[in-house]
Structure 1
Amino acid sequence: MIGLIILLVYVAIFIVSFLIVRFLVQKTTTDYTALKTVTFGDESAVTSNRVASVVSVLTIFLIWGSFTGSVLIPRFLHAPGPFVGETSFTYTIETPEGARDDATIFVRVMGFGEETVKFEVPPGDGIAKDDAVAMPASRSTTIIYDKNDEVTRKDGARLVAIDGETIGPDIALNTDVGRFALTEKGAITFAPPKGLQMEPIWLPPPEAVVGRVIEIANDGYRDSTLWKHLGYSLFRVIAGFFFGALLGIPLGYAMGLSNWFRGWFEPIVEFMRPVPPLALIPLVIIWFGIGETGKIILLFLASLWIMAISARAGVSGVNITKVHAAYSLGASKIQILRNVIIPNSLPEIFTGARVAMGVCWGTVVAAELVAASEGAGMMIMVASKFQLTDIVLMGIILIGVIGFGIDILMRRLENLLVPWKGRS
């Protein structure tokens, strides 16, 4: 239910932002790219809208803060939170002789992160006695309502109503106080209104994650600094990608230029391409052990097939008229390779490199599960065992930010080295 609400909020903000930019911002600016005669399907006419990028990031941050009760978000934008405070309900018991009596359960619901402290109330008179319960917000609790009653369930008494409404083993109640149901043994299961905000154990607010970044950057985690963890992960990714590209690109060129090489290696490449790198972990452990070599080889295999296929596609996509023109001018095969095939295949190779780098970042977490003592993946996995969701989110965000930064650098490098991309 919460997930559906979050999705609807995101879609609504997307539509509103699109309409505002479309009909207000763009009407007051001159976009010469949009004046091109042919734009639909023309990649050179489609560039990233920076306003949309900023609004997208702010929207995700806003939704995150709103559904976690963040102090960084104005309170009027917070999603309804769980009930916190004191409430009560009255239950009615019936003795085996048919006598009935009422008593009140006072409930103190503590906020997220607050210590649950027990408290007592006067029991009152009668067969049923008043009692008190303390519980955390957004949770349910089992209430042994008759622990101090004069006649208990063991004596044959049974619970027949809550706040005047009939309840039984197959009857659940939803009231303004909360939801009530009976366990198999007749105790009360009580859940106060949960609202729409998520518990920190499931999704901590942004400031908690930022606090963890500062804490681990200063004090470290598991005997290593944050920068050491990230450095190990980055080294493994770059090393695995480097060796994958070093072998994959020549292999792809060979498959694109030679029928024999293509026939020989295509079954291997096409067989290994759909195999997820995670499936290779047991084999990598058996063959190469649990040291750094095994982790780098796993990342090497994750990038190898992608780079080989992108290089092969780059060669196959070279405009044949350019090759014929070079031959007509007397160019040798080496000159055609150097001046025609390689330059025209570089855009595909850079695209494959960006995909391969993303796959390597996605695989490094699994690679660092293999007895790693440092690395962002190790940090995430260890934190997950202790339900330290803020550290898990911190690691995920840092991996994403670093991966996005690398992708930007590769795009800049592509623009610098392959300025002819998109021009035939």
Structure 2
Amino acid sequence: MAAAVFVVLVGAWWLVTALGVVPPAYLPSPGAVIDAFVQANTCRPISEGSSRVVCGEFDYYMWQHLLASLGRIGIGVGAAIVLGPIAGFLMGTIGWLRDALDPYLNFLRALPPLGYVGLLIVWFGIGDVSKYWLLFLAAFPPLVIATMNGVRGVKQDHIRAARSMGASRTQVATRVLLPSVLPELLSGIRIATGFAWTTVVAAELNNGIPGIGGLAYQAGTQIQTALTIASIIVIGIVAVALDSLIKFISRILTPWHGRA
């Protein structure tokens, strides 16, 4: 069914462009988008008959742009995966800490990334450090909230039962709390990664080359619409692939989750 919908959408797209309903500058044909994708991953002469060649777009192949963005996501989200669960566990177990920090956590979660990207550039410059911080701040709140909800959802009867059987604090944490919190944590990682990936264009608005978000933005400013659409399609495909990978890992790590 999904394949049929895809064929219909591409067919409608091709028909609209073939009939000239929309100018190519606004909506290029599927063939033009494919050509832009191919050019972004190959070398070609600068002009017809010239011996000089240009490779990729903006001096990088598209796969190099993609790897640069994935590297930034890995650092920003990776730091959030390390620090977020720690903060969530503390807020989930210490009531006064949760009451004190919860409003600020929700405030940060509600802020759109474009709202503070300029401030991060002022603080950390236009290099990768500001991008790491932006992606970290996008991923941190969902991870804290997921961990906190997971900790608070653990049944006290399970903890008391473990302690009554002589379990130490470490055993309670590793044998009771962790298995109970892990499904929520993995769901938080999935949400955080998806949200961080959606902010990749915002993170790469300034000095974002190489970067797939920077490529999409720069191509748009230069009216290279076909290349912009090709970049957007790649961003979407990678988002689906990342989400599927995290779901696959979640099923492996929490085979008991969702079972009666």
Asked if these proteins are the same fold (TM beyond 0.5), I'd say: yes
Residues 64 and 205 of structure 1 are in contact (CA less than 8 Å); yes or no, is this contact kept in structure 2?
Answer: no
**Whose radius of gyration is greater, 1 or 2?**
1
Residues 17 and 23 of structure 2 are in contact (CA less than 8 Å); yes or no, is this contact kept in structure 1?
Answer: no
Residue correspondence of structure 1 range 290-309 to structure 2 within 5 A: 290-309=126-145
Residue correspondence of structure 1 range 312-391 to structure 2 within 5 A: 312-391=148-227
Counterpart of 1:59?
Answer: 5
| 1:210-236, Cα deviation, whole Å (9 max, x unpaired) | 221111101300111111111111111
In structure 2, the gaps of 5 or more residues are: 44-55
Between the aligned partners of 2:57 and 2:197, the Cα distance in structure 1 is: 21
Residues 113 and 202 of structure 2 are in contact (CA less than 8 Å); yes or no, is this contact kept in structure 1?
Answer: no
In structure 1, the gaps of 5 or more residues are: 1-54, 70-78, 83-111, 113-196
* AA at the equivalent of 1:278: L
Residue 269 of structure 1, aligned match among 101, 105, 120: 105
Q: Does 1:232 align with 2:56?
A: no
In the superposition, the TM-score normalised over structure 2's length comes to 0.89
Counterpart of 1:214?
Answer: 38
Between the aligned partners of 1:203 and 1:80, the Cα distance in structure 2 is: 7
Counterpart of 2:244?
Answer: 408
Structure 1 position 373, deviation (Å) = 2.4
Counterpart of 2:254?
Answer: 418
Residues 67 and 198 of structure 1 are in contact (CA less than 8 Å); yes or no, is this contact kept in structure 2?
Answer: no
Between the aligned partners of 1:230 and 1:317, the Cα distance in structure 2 is: 38
2:42 partner SS: helix
CA RMSD in angstroms, aligned pairs only? 1.8
* AA at the equivalent of 1:225: Y
Deviation >3 Å, runs of 4+: 79-82
Counterpart of 2:22?
Answer: 198
Structure with greater helix percent: 2
Q: What is the number of equivalent residue pairs in this alignment?
A: 248
Between the aligned partners of 1:294 and 1:274, the Cα distance in structure 2 is: 19
* AA at the equivalent of 1:62: V
Between the aligned partners of 2:194 and 2:114, the Cα distance in structure 1 is: 15
* AA at the equivalent of 1:198: V
Distance 1:305 1:240, change over 3 A: same
Between the aligned partners of 1:387 and 1:396, the Cα distance in structure 2 is: 14
In the superposition, the TM-score normalised over structure 1's length comes to 0.56
Between the aligned partners of 1:67 and 1:409, the Cα distance in structure 2 is: 30
Counterpart of 1:256?
Answer: 92
Residues 303 and 356 of structure 1 are in contact (CA less than 8 Å); yes or no, is this contact kept in structure 2?
Answer: yes
Structure with greater strand percent: 1
Counterpart of 2:234?
Answer: 398
Structure 1 position 302, deviation (Å) = 0.5
**Percent identity (aligned):** 35
Structure 1 position 392, deviation (Å) = 0.9
Structure 1 position 328, deviation (Å) = 2.4
